[in-house]
Each structure stands twice: as structure tokens, then as C-alpha cells.
Structure 1
Amino acid sequence: MSDIVVFGAGGTAGSRIVAEAYNRGHRVVAAVRRPEATSYLPAGVRVVTGDATSERSVRELAPEADALVVAIGGGDHTLWPDAARALLDVLQSMPAAPRVIHVGGGATLLTPAGGRLLDEPDFPPEYRDAALGQAAALDLYRSSADGVSWTYVSPPPLEFHPGERTGKYRTGTEHPVTDTDGRSVLSYEDLAVAVIDEIEKPRFRNMRFTAAY
């Protein structure tokens, strides 16, 4: 059993990660900006006011955690690098810091030619700022000093949606995981499975991984 703090626990990804962790018997703290709006979370989950971009919040919640999951979202593309900075600044000073599991963007994955998907000419311009924000967060983790254990999780770049929990998925690192038709597909429910699997049995310390069917 682990103590897991989920930042962004009220969102589409965060709420499913909370449920998956709780249903597996972990102790879960749901860190959200508006605790009054989380009645749909499991009754045994402790809900607190928390913000991954705030060093104060991270400092308050990190000491009793084994893992900090970042599953935040919003309209401001600086949100993700701001969270990465806050987490790294606090955790680097802790003698026994928890792991960070950052749910990032699929557009940071690479094309067969080695470029980022977000840099392709046909990448939708309306998603570019968010993609660049997630890319900046990944760069911050990769350039961080030793002492902080992190994992960046990229969902599929396009076909990622609420759906069925199958408990099955395949993993990759820098390129999307595709099926025989070239599609990369995953449900939010199975992304949550992959996140909690990584907490229980780490395979991707200090690196990025992606998952799909």
C-alpha cells in the first residue's frame, strides 16, 4: 500500500487515477482547487485544497507521500512547467522525496523521422500552446538534478478519451504505440491503470513512457 497524492484529482484523468488507486487499496489524497466540487470521488479518499504550481502546497503534501501524481489541466500553457518547477524545487531539498508521476501531453511524442508531433506542419494551431507547455515541463524534468525520481506519462496524441477499463495496454517510450492499422488509442481508465502500475512496479524511472492498446 502506498500513500498517493493526486494533483488535479477533480479532472478527467485525475479522477480516474484517484479511483484506480483507491480501488487497489492505496491511501489517496485528492488535491484540488475546489474541494466542494468533488462529491463524485470515492468516499474513502481524503480531499484537500492543493495546487501543484504552489511550492507551499507541494511542501505541505509531499512529506507523507510515496508518490505525487500531476494530472492538472487548464487554459494557461504555463501551468505544466510551473508545476514541474515547484515540484522539483521542493523535492530536491527533501532527504527522502516522493516520486513524481506527471501526466503529460501526447504531442511531445516523436514522429518516425524523430521530430516532435507538435512541430509537424499540420499540427492544429489551437493546441500548440498547450503542447509547448507540456514539452517545457518534460524538458525541466529531464534537466533536473539527481535526487528526484520522476516519470512523465504521455497518452496517445489523438485518440485518448473516456471509455472502458480493460486493464490491458502496451507501452513505449518516445514514439506512439500503434496497432496494425497505425492507430494509437487508449481510454482514460486504462491510462489510470498504467499510472498506478508504474507506482506499484516502477519500470520508467527518470524517463517518459507512453501507453496504448
Structure 2
Amino acid sequence: MQVAVIGANGAIGRCVVTEALAREHRVTAVVRRPAEYQGLAISVERGDVLDPEDVARVAEGRQAVVSAVGGGDGPGRGRLVEPAAHALVAGLRRLGDAAPRLLVVGSAGSLLTASGTPLWDEPSVPPRQFELMRAHGRALDYLRTVRDLDWTVLSPPRNLLPGERTGSYRLAADTLLTTPDGLSTLSLPDFATALVDELEHPAHHGERFTCGY
């Protein structure tokens, strides 16, 4: 499968690239500053996720586009998330029937906790994280209005941590997954495994799902 990974220089993006390459997919890393990408010896292209024309260019001829774009740094940390969702859709629509599948890395914020309320309503969520979570929530709300593209959002658990690839994880739809001791966590390599598994065996079309231990 030919896959473009937008935001390939971030922690999640790098793990997705590594996992997809290990399965012998043809991967193009799409980053804003290619000279700063110190990754594997793969195709690297400059691309701006906020520019629909750029999105169409890097997506053309590929079977899937993965957006692992982060929220940006500093004040207004979530400022990239919602406009990126709009630009991704606008760019893929330019390709018409040849548009590839879109898989977006989301946030845990809108997942429901055991109390039945979204995670972002928990008092323990710091303001900067809350801001990013709500931005991802607005992006998801927008994608749920899109009917003419094949899209999927994969929300991580509350904590994505460095660690080993075990290849083991659980799936859910809109419920935050936790371990018996109450932790909501997954290693970055296992998150990438779940994402590439979804690319290879599509099961969530036009919807969000989540994963965790």
C-alpha cells in the first residue's frame, strides 16, 4: 500500500512510519521542513496540512493518507487541529473518486469515562491539554458531517508513552479504555500497530474508535 504520513516528524508520526515500513508498505513522510527530518531512508516531501492544494498533491496516487499532526506549541496549542481537518477534506475532495482513505490521529478528550462524561470534563485535565482536546473534538464533529470521503479517526488513550511494541491492545468506540487498576495507557509503538492494522483491515469507516491496554 502507498501511504502518505503527514506530520511524520512527530512522536506518533515516526512510530507510524516505522510500523508501516516494517510491513513493507511504501511510505512517504510529509513534513513542513524536510531538512529537519532525521528518520529512515524513505521518501520525504515538503507539505503543509493547512493548504488543500498541498494535501491533494501529496495524496494523489496513494491508497491512504495518515494525519498525525500535533496541536502546535505554546499558547493556542490546538490552533492547527481544526483547520487541518478542513484542509484535509478540501484537499482530498479535489481528487474526486481517486481520493485515498483518510486516517486521522485524534484525542482522548471526547471519550467517555466511567462516569459517562467526556474526559475533558475531568478536573484533573490541565487547561492547555483541555484546549487541545476541545480542538480535536471540533475537528471530529466536522469530520462526522463528511459523507463523500472514507475517513476514520483513531483516538489514543489518555496516556501514550514510550515503550515496547507488544502487538497487544483492546478496541472500543467512544469509551475510554482503562486497565483494571484504572490506568488509560498504551505504548506509542502499540498505538502505531493499531493504526496500521486499521489501514490493512479497514473496520471503521466514517467513524471514530479508540485503543488501549
Tell me the TM-score range normalised by the shorter chain.
over 0.9
Q: Give the structure 2 partner of residue 123 of structure 1.
A: 125
For structure 1, which segment, 57-66 or 7-16, has the greater mean C-alpha deviation from structure 2 after superposition? Answer: 57-66
Output the TM-score relative to the length of structure 2: 0.93
> Residue deviations 1:40-74, cap 9 Å, x none?
x221x100101222112111111111111010111
The 1-side partners of 2:163 and 2:40 are apart by 19
The 2-side partners of 1:115 and 1:52 are apart by 31
Q: Aligned with 1:123: secondary structure?
A: coil
RMSD (CA atoms): 1.3
Contact 1:22 1:42 (8 Å CA) reproduced: no
Equivalent residues in 2 for 1:6-17, closer than 5 Å: 6-17=5-16
Q: Aligned with 1:106: secondary structure?
A: coil
What percentage of aligned pairs have identical amino acids?
Answer: 40
Q: Give the structure 2 partner of residue 85 of structure 1.
A: 86
Q: Give the structure 1 partner of residue 212 of structure 2.
A: 212
Structure 1 ranges of 4+ moved more than 4 A: none
Equivalent residues in 2 for 1:171-186, closer than 5 Å: 171-186=171-186
Contact 1:152 1:207 (8 Å CA) reproduced: yes
Amino acid aligned to 1:23: A
Q: Give the structure 2 partner of residue 151 of structure 1.
A: 152
Contact 1:69 1:101 (8 Å CA) reproduced: yes
Q: Give the structure 2 partner of residue 102 of structure 1.
A: 104
The 1-side partners of 2:90 and 2:34 are apart by 26
Output the TM-score relative to the length of structure 1: 0.93
Runs of 5+ consecutive residues of structure 2 not aligned to the other structure: none
